Amino acid sequence: MPRRDDIHKILLIGSGPIVIGQACEFDYSGTQACKALREEGYEVVLVNSNPATIMTDPNTADRTYIEPLTWEIVEKVIEQEKPDALLPTLGGQTGLNVAMDLDRHGVLETHGVKMIGANAQVIAKAEERDQFKKAMESIGLECCHGRTVHTLEEAREVLGEVGLPCVVRPSFTLGGSGSAVAYNRQDFDTLVQYGLDQSPITEVLIEESVLGWKEYEMEVMRDLDDNVVIICAIENFDPMGVHTGDSITVAPAQTLTDKEYQRMRDASLAVIREIGVETGGSNIQFAIDPKTGRMIVIEMNPRVSRSSALASKATGFPIAKIAAKLAVGYRLHELPNDITRKTQACFEPSIDYVVTKIPRFAFEKFPEADSTLTTQMKSVGETMAIGRTFKESFQKALRGLEVGRFGFGCDGSKDLWGSEQQPTVEEIKANLARPNEDRVWHLRYAMKAGLSNKKIHELSYIDPWFLDHLSEIVELEEELLKIESITDVDNATLRKAKQFGYSDRQLAEIFQTSEMEVREFRKSRGIVATFKSVDTCAAEFEAYTPYFYSTYEDEDETPAKQPDRKRIMILGGGPNRIGQGIEFDYCCCHASFALRELGIESIMVNSNPETVSTDYDTSDLLFFEPLTTEDVLNICDRVQPDGVIVQFGGQTPLNLARGLATAGIPIIGTTVDTIEAAEDRKQFQEILQRLNLKQPANGIAMNMNQARSEAAKIGFPSLVRPSFVLGGRAMEICYDQSQFERFVSEAFNASQGKSVLIDRFLEDATEVDVDAICDGENVIIAGIMEHIEEAGVHSGDSACAIPSYSLPQNVIEEIRTATRSLALHLNVVGLMNIQFAVKTEDGKPNVYVLEVNPRASRTVPFVAKATGVPVAKLAAKVMAGVTLDELGLDREPIPAHVSVKESVFPFRKFVGVDIVLGPEMRSTGEVMGISERFSIAFAKSQLAAGVVLPKDGQIFISVTERDKDLVAALAERLHRLGFELIATAGTARRLEDAGIPVEPVKKLVEGHPNLIDYLIDGKVSLILNTPNGKGARTDEGRIRAAAVQHGVSCITTFQAAEAAVMAMEALREEEIKVQSLQERFAERAVN
C-alpha cells in the first residue's frame, strides 16, 4: 500500500538538549525522519530546543521551531501550523513525553492531530510498568517479579515479596534515571524516596533482582500489515545490573544457540504485537538466566532509541528512516534497501563482522559522584568499533574511546600493570565485583595476576566466552613479550597481532620502539589494513553504499579514486564527552555537505555511532574507525585524500594533526603550524604584542617549581589549566598559594606530560566569544556572543546572547578589529574562535584576549541558528579554496532578534554533587531561546533548559560577600513581583536594612527548620545562591545538591540571577510567542 494521502503536514518533536541518556542519536533519527518524510512530499514541522543539531538546520524541515519542549509551547506551534499528524516516536523519551502531555491535555484532539506510529494508549501500555507486565503475562512471557508503588509504605510491603537485593526503578524518567539496586533496607528506603521524587508521576517499581544474568536487546520493526523484522540482536558484555547505556555491548548476540535466539525473536514479535506499536522501531530488552535459560522481559521502548541508532550503524539498516516511512503507510517490502538497491527493507540484516560499543564516562568532572555503574545511566558518550572478530573490534573500541588507551593494555603510561600503582589482587577482585568504568582494565590485570577466568566470571558475571577472548589477547601479549625485537617476529604472528586488534602503539610498547617504526616495519612485511564494507547482507548482494571498517585480511573493498574528482577527508570528534559533543559533529556534517556541493568526494572518519556524521548518507565515503594516527593513516594509504580537514571535530583531530602532517598527509585550511602557534604560549604572546593586544599576565610551566615562580610574577587570583585539553579539564581559579599548589599538581596529572598554563584571573569581567571565518584575505565575523556569567565560568557552561546585550558599541568595535587582525596575522583559513574578557579598569573598559582557537568552536551551530548563516559549511568551502567573496559573504550578519544559549547539566544523575559553575566545564548540552527581546529570549532558554522561573511562591536568596551590595536592588524587584523572600542571616540583614520584607531561615548548622526542610516541604520555588565556597561537603554545597534533588531551580551567579529577574518581569508583560526559523530569516537567503 502506498503512502497515506489523508495527511499532509506532520509534526516532529525532537529530544532537546544533550543529556545523559539522550544524545546525538535523536538528532540522527530526527534528521533521517525529516528527510524521509519530505522525500515523500509531506510538509514537516519540527520543534526542538537544541540548536546544535542538524535537524534544526532550516533546510532539514519545512518549518523549524527552536523552542522549549513543553506541551504548552508545542501547543502554540500546533495552533500556528495546524499539522495533520504527530509522529512521537523519533524524539527520544522527551519527544514521547511531550506528545503524551499534549494528548493528556486534549491538545491533539482539539486541533485534530493524529498520532502516527504509536498512539497514546500504546505508549502508556509500553511505559507504564503494571500495564506492561499485565500485557506480557497475557502472552505468556515472564517479567521480573514485583510491582509499582506510590509511597514508601507500599514499597516496604513489596520488599517482603521480592526480597533483597532488589531493583528500584522510578516511572517515566530519562535513561532509567533514579534506578538502582538496593542491597539493604537502608539503601532501599533512600532509593525509594529518591525515585518517588524523580518520577513525574510519583511512582516507582520494586522488582526482583536479576543481577548477573545475561542481557540482550532486540531491535524490532513493524509495519501496518503486521510484518515484523528483527534488525539487530545486541548482547551485553556487562551482565544485568548495569544500564545498557553504560554497558559494553556487542552485536550480534554471541552466546545463544539458534533455538534460544529464535525464542527471543518470537518473544520480541509477540511483544511488539501485544503492545500494539503500529509501525516503526522498538527496542526490547531481555534477561536470560545463564544457568537455566529462563527468559525475562525487562522493558520495551516503543520508539527509536540509543540502541536503535547503534543497531543502525552496526548493521547499515537505517531504522529511523524506515520507521518514518512506515508511519505514513508504507509496508516494509515496499521500501528499498538503499545499500543493496536490488532488495527491499523487509529482511533481517546479516552481518559478517563483530561490533563492540564501549561507553565513555566523565566521573573526573564529578569527583564526589559514586562511580559504581548501576541501572541508572551515567555515561556521557560512546564509541563503536567494527572488526572481523570480537577481539579486533574490542581493542579497536578501546582505542576509539580516546582516553589515552590504545588497546587492551601494554599501551603506555595508563597501563598500571608493572608500574608502581599496579593494583593488588584484592583491589583487582573488588574492581571486578563492582561494575565501574575501570573494570575492563581490571579484567586484564586479573588475567595478568593469574586469576582464572572461572574466578573472574564468579566475581563479574561476565560471560566466559568474552573472557576467553580477552585471555587470547593477553596470551598473545605474553608471547610477543618473549620476543626480543620486532624484527624477530615472524609474519604470521605479526599478522595475528594485528588481527587481534593490536595497535602499532601497543606493539611499539611491547618491542620498545616507536609507533612509526612498527608501522613501517609491518608495511615492509606487507601487513596492511584492508577495508570491508558494511552491507546489511554479509556480501550476499552487491553493496552500493560505501560504509567501511578496517581489518587485516586479504581483500580490500575501498573504491578506487575517480581520476577527475578530488577527495577530501573530514576527521570527526569521536565519542561524546563533556566539552566535545554534538556541536562538533554538526560542524563535520556541514563540512561534508559543503564538499559535496562543490563536487568533491567527501570522506568521513568517525567512531561515534550516535551521530549524523556516521550516517552513510552524510558523506560519499564513511569510514567507521577509531580516531588515532594509525587508523587515520591506514585509511589515507588506501583512499589517498587530496586534503584532510582537522578543524571541525574538536580537539580529537587537532591532536592528530601534527602526526598526520609529519607523515605527509595534506592538512587543508589553517596550517598545523598556526594551530600550534595559537596553543603555544610564547609564540602567541609575541603575536599579541605585535598586534598591540592585551592579554592577562600569564606564564607556562613544565613542573611545579616553574609554576611557583610564574605564580609569583602573575599574582592571585590566577587560573591554572593543562594545555591541549578541551572542556576546561582540571582548570581552576586559585585565590591563594595553598589552592595554587593543589590545583597545579592536579593540572599536571591531567596534562599527560604536556605543560600547565597559568593566567592572571580577571575578576568581574564580561566574557565574549567570537566566531569568525577567514579565507586568508578577508575576515567575516559570524557572531559576537556576550556571556551572561562572568569570566571564570567555563564558556561551555555559561549562557550567552547574540547580539551583545550590554556592551558599548566602541568595545564591540574594538573586539571586531582585534578579531580581524588576529585572523589575518595567524593566516587562518577556515574558522576561528576567540575568547575575550572585557574588564572595567579605572572607569574604562579594557579588552583582553583570553584564548584563540583556529578551529570550529562549540558555538558554531548556535551562531548559525542565531544568524541564519551556515557558518560551518561556508568555512569548509573556504578551506577547499573558495573565497568569501565568491561565497557572497561580505559582512557580519546582525540578526533582528536576540538569541540566548543556555547550558544543560547532568547534576540530577550525580546525586550530591555541588552544582556551582567554574572554569571546568560540566554541561552536557545546550538549548536556545529566541525572541525580539533579550529578557524573553532568556526566559525561553531557561524554560528549555528546565530551569523553572516561578510566577509566585518563596524565593531563597543567599549571596556571597562581594554580591551583597547589589543584592538589595535585585530583591526589591522580586518583592515587587510579589514573591516572598527568605534568606540566611547575613543576606537577610542586608535586605532588612534596605527595607525589604524577608523571612530569615536557619543555616543547616543552626538546626531545624532550615532551608532543606523548606525544600522538602515544597515551599521554595527558586534559589538564588552565589557561592562563598564550593564542594559537596560545604553547607551551601549541600543546599544546592538538595535543590537539584527536589527539583528546585538554583541559580548560582549574580549575572544569571539578574537576567532571571529581568525575564520574570518580562513574562508579566508579555506571553511567549513562537516563530519558525524560516519565518525569521524569510528575507535572508538561507543556504
Partner 1 sequence: MKQTAKLALEDGTVYTGTGFGAAGEVEGEVCFNTSMTGYQEILTDPSYRGQIVTMTYPQIGNYGINEEDVESCRPHLSGFVIRELSRIHSNFRSEGGLDEYLQKHGIVGIAGIDTRALVRRIRTQGAMKGILSTEDLDDESLVAKAKASAGLVGRDLVQEVVSEQPQEWSESLSRWAHISDQESKSDSEANLHVVALDFGMKWNIARHLRDLGCRVTILPGTTATADRVRELNPDGVFLSNGPGDPEPLTYAIETIRSLMGEKPIFGICLGHQLLALASGAKTFKLKFGHRGANQPVIDFDTGKVEITAQNHGFAVDEESLPDHLEITHRNLNDQTIAGLRHREAPAFGVQYHPEASSGPHDSRYLFKRFRDLMESGAQVTS
141, amino acid identity: L
Angle between helical axes of 681-690 and 809-826 (0-180°, round to 10): 120
Whole-Å CA distances, 40 to 33, 82, 330: 11, 19, 11
Q: Which cell numbers in the block locate residue 829? A: 583559513
Binding range to partner 1, per CB under 8 A, among 25-33, 460-468, 856-864, 874-882:
460-468
Q: Does 478 bind partner 1 (CB under 8 A)?
A: no
List, as one string, the DSSP characters of 997-1049. --EE-B-GGG-SSBHHHHHHTT-EEEEEE--SS-STTSHHHHHHHHHHHTT--
Q: Is 553 in the site for partner 1 (CB under 8 A)?
A: yes
348 forms part of the interface with partner 1 (CB under 8 A): yes
Is 292 near partner 1 (CB under 8 A)? yes
CB of 432 to partner 1, least distance (A): 18
Cβ(607)–Cβ(575) below 8 Å: yes
N-term to C-term CA, the chain: 36
Please pick, from the candidates 38, 111, 263, 1038, the single residue that binds partner 1 as defined by CB under 8 A.
263
898 binds partner 1, rule: CB under 8 A? no
CA dist., res. 878 & res. 594, Å (int): 10
Q: Is there binding between residue 262 and partner 1 (CB under 8 A)?
A: yes
Interacting span for partner 1 (CB under 8 A) from 193-201, 533-541, 950-958, 994-1002: 533-541
Instruction: Give residue 843's identity as a one-letter amino acid code.
Output: G
Distance of CA 792 to the CA centre of its chain: 23
Q: How far is the CB of 507 from partner 1 (least distance, A)?
A: 20
Handedness of CA 601, 606, 609, 610 (dihedral sign): negative
* Site for partner 1 contains 336 (CB under 8 A): no
Give CA–CA dist 927/68, Å, rounded.
8
Q: Which is nearer to partner 1, 349 or 792 (CB)?
A: 349
Q: How far is the CB of 224 from partner 1 (least distance, A)?
A: 11
Q: Which is nearer to partner 1, 133 or 760 (CB)?
A: 133
Q: Looking at 172, 363, 417, 541, which residue binds partner 1 (CB under 8 A)?
A: 541
Classify burial at 427, counting beta carbons within 10 Å of its beta carbon; exposed 0-12, middle 13-18, buried 19 or more: middle
Residues 764-803, mask of contacts with partner 1 (x by CB under 8 A): ----------------------------------------
Piece in contact with partner 1 (CB under 8 A), picked from 134-142, 204-212, 761-769, 812-820 = 134-142
| E strand residue ranges, 566-633 | 567-571, 601-606, 621-624
Residues 828-867 that bind partner 1 (CB under 8 A): none
The 10 Å Cβ neighbour count of residue 882 is: 16
Q: Which is nearer to partner 1, 472 or 746 (CB)?
A: 472
d(CA 1061, CA 971) in angstroms, rounded, equals 9
Regarding 151 and contact with partner 1 (CB under 8 A), the answer is: no
**Cα radius of gyration (the chain):** 28
Query: In the set 109, 130, 161, 540, which binds partner 1 (CB under 8 A)?
Result: 540
> Considering the rule CB under 8 A, would residue 685 count as an interface residue with partner 1?
no
- What is the smallest separation between the CB atom of 475 and partner 1, expressed in angstroms? 10
Is residue 227 at the binding interface for partner 1, with CB under 8 A as the rule?
Answer: yes
Instruction: Give the interface segment with partner 1, choosing from 226-234, 505-513, 573-581, 745-753 (CB under 8 A).
Output: 226-234
What residues numbered 375-394 form the site for partner 1, per CB under 8 A?
A: 388-390
141 binds partner 1 (CB under 8 A): yes
Near partner 1 by CB under 8 A: residue from 426, 554, 842, 1071: 554
Residues 62, 35 contacting (CB under 8 angstroms):
no
With contacts defined by CB under 8 A, name the span among 220-228, 699-707, 874-882, 1030-1038 that binds partner 1.
Answer: 220-228
Contact criterion met (CB below 8 Å) for 688 and 695: yes
Q: Is 606 within 8 Å of 574 (Cβ atoms)?
A: yes
- Binding test (CB under 8 A) with partner 1, winner from 6, 140, 524, 1005: 140
d(CA 1018, CA 1023): 12
Q: Scan residues 415-454 and list those touching partner 1 (CB under 8 A).
A: none
Of 76, 82, 10, give the one whose Cα is nearest residue 43.
Answer: 10
Is residue 633 within 8 Å of residue 656, measured between CB atoms? no
- By CB under 8 A, tell whether 1006 contacts partner 1: no
Q: Name the minimum Å distance from CB 394 to partner 1.
A: 12
Nearer to partner 1, 188 or 317 (CB): 317
Minimum CB–partner distance for residue 538 and partner 1 (Å): 4
The DSSP secondary-structure symbol of 420 reads T
479 is an interface residue for partner 1 by CB under 8 A = no
3-state SS, residue 213:
coil
Chain positions 268 to 287 lying near partner 1, rule: CB under 8 A, are 270
- Looking at the DSSP bridge assignments, the partners of residue 301 are 283
The binder of partner 1 chosen from 36, 90, 253, 339 (CB under 8 A): 253
Least distance (Å) between residue 603 CB and partner 1: 22
Counting contacts by CB under 8 A, is residue 687 touching partner 1?
A: no
Nearest to 569 by CA among 511, 520, 613: 613
Contact 821, 672 (CB under 8 A): no
Cβ(474)–Cβ(417) below 8 Å: no
Q: Please report whether residue 256 would count as binding partner 1 according to CB under 8 A.
A: yes
Tell the smallest beta-carbon distance from residue 527 to partner 1 (Å).
Answer: 14
To which residue does cell 564542594 refer?
1031
| Part of the chain binding partner 1 (CB under 8 A), chosen from 12-20, 241-249, 547-555, 891-899 | 547-555
Q: Which residues contact 989 (CB under 8 A, 6 or more apart)?
A: none
Which stretch in 113-121, 253-261, 903-911, 1054-1062 sits in contact with partner 1 by CB under 8 A? 253-261
| Residue keyed to cell 569548509 | 876
CA–CA separation, 65 vs 1069, rounded Å? 23
Position of cell 545523559? Answer: 20
**Cβ closer to partner 1: 333 or 1046?**
333
Edge-first strand order for the sheet with 1020-1025 is: 999-1000, 980-983, 954-958, 1020-1025, 1050-1051
Contact pick of 463, 585, 732, 759 for partner 1 (by CB under 8 A)? 463
Question: Looking at 140-148, 276-284, 376-384, 438-446, which segment touches partner 1 (CB under 8 A)?
Answer: 140-148
Closest to partner 1 by CB, 140 or 888:
140
Which of residues 184 and 292 has its CB atom nearest to partner 1 in the complex? 292
Instruction: Between 331 and 922, name the residue whose CB sits nearer to partner 1.
Output: 331
Q: 3-class SS at 95?
A: helix
The residue type found at 288 is: I
HSE, CB side, 13 Å, CA atoms: give it for residue 743. 24
Q: How is residue 219 written as a grid cell?
A: 531491535
Asked if 344 interacts with partner 1 (CB under 8 A), we say: yes
Binding-residue total with partner 1 (CB under 8 A): 62
**Closest CB to partner 1 among residues 560, 1005:** 560
Asked if 465 is part of the footprint of partner 1 (rule: CB under 8 A), the reply reads yes
Q: Are 401 and 437 in contact (CB under 8 A)?
A: no
**Residue 493 interacting with partner 1 (CB under 8 A):** no
Is 456 among the residues that bind partner 1 (CB under 8 A)?
no
What residue has cell string 532539514?
60
At 370, the amino acid letter reads D
- The reply to whether 528 sits near partner 1 by the rule CB under 8 A is no
Interaction between residue 341 and partner 1 (CB under 8 A) = no
Out of 130, 161, 352, 886, the residue judged to bind partner 1 by CB under 8 A:
352
Binding site for partner 1 (CB under 8 A): 139-142, 225-227, 229, 252-263, 265-267, 270, 290-293, 295, 331-333, 342-344, 346-354, 388-390, 463-465, 468, 472, 532, 537-542, 553-555
